Chain A
Amino acid sequence: MKILQVRVSTHWKRILFFLLGIFFFGYSLIIYLYCSGNQEYEMSNAAKQGKLLWQNYNCNACHQLYGLGGYMGPDLTNIISNPNKGRNYAAIFIKNGTERMPNLNLDSLQISNILEYLDYVDKSGKYPDRNANQNWYGEINPSNR
């Protein structure tokens, strides 16, 4: 009886494992297709090049986008639309560097591509969004939705 119990138990464990596996793959597929909601932000070719430059120079080691990245430098999600900073401000920093930021010797096209990418990121949303609506159980709805 005990052996039977163990066998049945193992059988159910396997079923549960495969069911979870199916949910996982199904959910992954749904995430890939629909996680961005109805918002599709078209990325220009220059922005696409800018994204690859962002990775090739490992800008993420010091800067964050939507809070993801290192903390050596500021989060750049909304640097372009920031009234006190903006595109030219960002361009000067990228071109010359600072005491804490290396001059990566980028040419003007590369700088322009990175700025295009940052512009694209800026238009995708706001971070940190302290004007977001919060409900009683803690859910946050972005203010620009």
Chain B
Amino acid sequence: MKNYMVSKVILRWSLLFLIFALLMGLYGAYIYIFGSVHSILSFRQCRPLHVSAAVFWILSAALGSVMYFCSSLVSSKMPFGFLWRLFQWLWVGTIIAIFLCFLFAKFGGREYWEFPPILSVPLLIAWLLASVNFFAIIKRINKPYPVYVWMWASGFIFFGIAFLESNLWLIPWFRSNIIRDITIQWKANGSIVGSWNMLIYGTSIYLMEKISGNKKMAYQNRSFLFYFLGLTNLMFNWGHHTYILPAALWVQHISYAISMTEWIVLISIFRSFRIKLQEANKYLFNIPYRFLLASEIWLLLNLILAIFMSIPYFNSFSHGTHITVAHAMGTTIGINSMILMGSIFYIIEENASEVLKRHRKWIIFLWYIVNISLLVFWLALILAGLIKGLAGPEQISTQFSQINAKIVPYLTWFYIAGFGVALALGSLALMAFKILRLNFKVPPNKI
């Protein structure tokens, strides 16, 4: 199986999931702000459709990218090609089954994984099949491994563990105490996000190595320091979500201490600011680099927000408000999706640079629209969250609708900006989907 072919199917599906997530996001936001319960799809259906499609866009694109780049590191064919094909069918088939369940209002799971829990079984099996292929490939890579291989491996291992953990509620003992139940739910979800970040940030480092040609970068002690910091955060940095629970206090202390390690990342970003600026001037012509650059700016903004949210006092105002949504959207669109789009355009560039050159101006235009819209979208959510958070004590005596009415102007801006994000990111996804449809055997001018 050729390198390009390895990931083509899963990458194309991932782009379809992204387009679907954007459409459901627009629809869900419309019902949330302006609509009523008499819509074709109720909010309890379109919200999980939006969230799941976004999660599966991220996971599928990350898997497709990692397998493509891994296969590029070894010149031989994929060791278990049939397992990879089986993975693709099982993965995509289960995701479609999940979407159908939501369309027919069949639930049973919990936040972010609301589908009937039986569907977790094929998802986990599919993940194991992909993992077998991944570890069989990296065995053929020359040692010592670069940092991105460590990151990818950690992502594969810990996603499997965290996904299992997110299903522990199926055992009655785990769900019989709400404090334990919600704590484990946040713990598992935090580690799941940490795991896909490992796959995506690893991809980002791989891409920077290829774009800059600096092969030392992935072997430096500094890179490994940040890898282990990331791994520690994957394992333990979920606790700030549970400050508001009447759980044991030591959970809060450990969570607080771990969260504060994010300052190291923030200081490091500020320290390397001048180098990043020089780097940006040098590589800005490169389309995949543009997406990586955007992800770094979003990383900085979201890191500042995350540090505030990790301080218990501020957390008591931000938790359960649109500030949490701003952080989730800022990271999944601004960081994850930017890196993954960069990765997909890098793969396209490797296989059909002429096609990419022809679309260059259009891609740059859409890149600006996505990022400017996302900034307005993100700020509108933060403002809405601040108003809701500060109105917190009123909630006992005030009707929910009264508090909601105060934030509608900000949510209208959020919706308008969200339209811009969906239009531009959707257009980029559609463009990449069309280019990936081809096997590049045809002359580029026919594309």
Interface string of B160-186 (1 = CB under 8 A from A): 000001001000101111111011111
- Contact partners of B168 in chain A: CB under 8 A: 32
By the criterion CB–CB under 8 Å, are A130 and B392 in contact?
A: yes
Q: A24-B235, A31-B187 known; A75 and B320 CB under 8 Å? A: yes
By the criterion CB–CB under 8 Å, are B165 and A139 in contact?
A: no
Which 6 A-B residue pairs are closest in the complex by CB-CB distance? A67-B320, A125-B246, A74-B400, A61-B44, A37-B248, A36-B179
Kindly identify which residue among B32, B108, B182, B396 contacts A66, using a CB–CB cutoff of 8 Å: B182
Taking CB atoms and an 8 Å cut-off, the chain B residues in 379-408 that contact chain A are: 392-393, 395-397, 400
By the criterion CB–CB under 8 Å, are B43 and A72 in contact?
A: yes
Interface string of A1-35 (1 = CB under 8 A from B): 00000110110010011001001100110011011
> How many B residues, CB 8 Å from partner?
75
- Contact partners of B186 in chain A: CB under 8 A: 68
Q: How far is the CA of A3 from the CA of B380 in the complex (A)?
A: 53
By the criterion CB–CB under 8 Å, are B48 and A58 in contact?
A: yes
A92 interface hit (Cβ, 8 Å): no
**Chain B residue at minimal CB-CB distance from A10:** B144
- Contact partners of A34 in chain B: CB under 8 A: 248
Q: Can you list 24 A-B pairs with a CB-CB distance of less than 8 A? A: A7-B144, A10-B144, A17-B231, A20-B228, A20-B231, A20-B235, A23-B235, A24-B235, A24-B236, A31-B251, A36-B248, A39-B246, A41-B178, A48-B172, A55-B108, A55-B109, A55-B114, A60-B114, A61-B43, A67-B320, A72-B47, A102-B37, A128-B320, A144-B246
A140 interface hit (Cβ, 8 Å): yes
Q: How far is the CA of A115 from the CA of B150 in the complex (A)?
A: 48
Q: Known contacts A36-B179, A84-B396, A121-B178; can you find 6 more A-B pairs with CB under 8 A?
A: A55-B108, A56-B108, A72-B32, A127-B244, A138-B314, A142-B246
**Chain B residue at minimal CB-CB distance from A69:** B111
Q: How far is the CA of A58 from the CA of B107 in the complex (A)?
A: 6
**Chain B residue at minimal CB-CB distance from A130:** B393
- Contact partners of B256 in chain A: CB under 8 A: 138-139
Taking CB atoms and an 8 Å cut-off, the chain B residues in 245-274 that contact chain A are: 245-249, 251-254, 256
Residues of A within 8 A of B (CB): 6-7, 9-10, 13, 16-17, 20, 23-24, 27-28, 31-32, 34-37, 39-41, 43, 48, 51, 55-62, 64-75, 78, 82-84, 97-102, 120-121, 124-130, 132, 134, 138-142, 144-145
B215 interface hit (Cβ, 8 Å): no
How many Å from the CB of B294 to the closest CB on chain A? 27
Taking CB atoms and an 8 Å cut-off, the chain B residues in 200-258 that contact chain A are: 221, 224, 228, 231-232, 235-236, 241, 243-249, 251-254, 256
Kindly identify which residue among B111, B150, B395 contacts A68, using a CB–CB cutoff of 8 Å: B111
By the criterion CB–CB under 8 Å, are A82 and B180 in contact?
A: no
By the criterion CB–CB under 8 Å, are B247 and A37 in contact?
A: yes
By the criterion CB–CB under 8 Å, are B177 and A36 in contact?
A: yes
Interface string of B33-49 (1 = CB under 8 A from A): 00011000011110110
Q: Chain B's interface: helix, strand, loop or mixed, by majority?
A: helix
How many Å from the CB of B326 to the closest CB on chain A? 12
- Contact partners of B174 in chain A: CB under 8 A: 32
- Contact partners of A40 in chain B: CB under 8 A: 177
Q: A20-B235, A121-B178 known; A129 and B248 CB under 8 Å? A: no
How many Å from the CB of B359 to the closest CB on chain A? 37
How many Å from the CB of B142 to the closest CB on chain A? 12
Q: How far is the CA of A132 from the CA of B315 in the complex (A)?
A: 13
- Contact partners of A9 in chain B: CB under 8 A: 144, 221
Q: A6-B144, A17-B231, A20-B228 known; A139 and B185 CB under 8 Å? A: no
Kindly identify which residue among A43, A61, A68, A126 contacts B47, using a CB–CB cutoff of 8 Å: A61
Kindly identify which residue among A66, A84, A139 contacts B245, using a CB–CB cutoff of 8 Å: A66
By the criterion CB–CB under 8 Å, are B392 and A62 in contact?
A: no
**Chain B residue at minimal CB-CB distance from A36:** B179
B8 interface hit (Cβ, 8 Å): no
By the criterion CB–CB under 8 Å, are B107 and A75 in contact?
A: no
B427 interface hit (Cβ, 8 Å): no
- Contact partners of B45 in chain A: CB under 8 A: 58, 61
Q: How far is the CA of A144 from the CA of B244 in the complex (A)?
A: 12
Interface string of B295-338 (1 = CB under 8 A from A): 00000000000000001111110011010110000000000000
How many Å from the CB of B247 to the closest CB on chain A? 5
Kindly identify which residue among B183, B314, B316 contacts A128, using a CB–CB cutoff of 8 Å: B316
- Contact partners of A145 in chain B: CB under 8 A: 246
B360 interface hit (Cβ, 8 Å): no
By the criterion CB–CB under 8 Å, are B316 and A27 in contact?
A: no
Kindly identify which residue among B109, B110, B311, B400 contacts A138, using a CB–CB cutoff of 8 Å: B311
- Contact partners of A75 in chain B: CB under 8 A: 320, 395
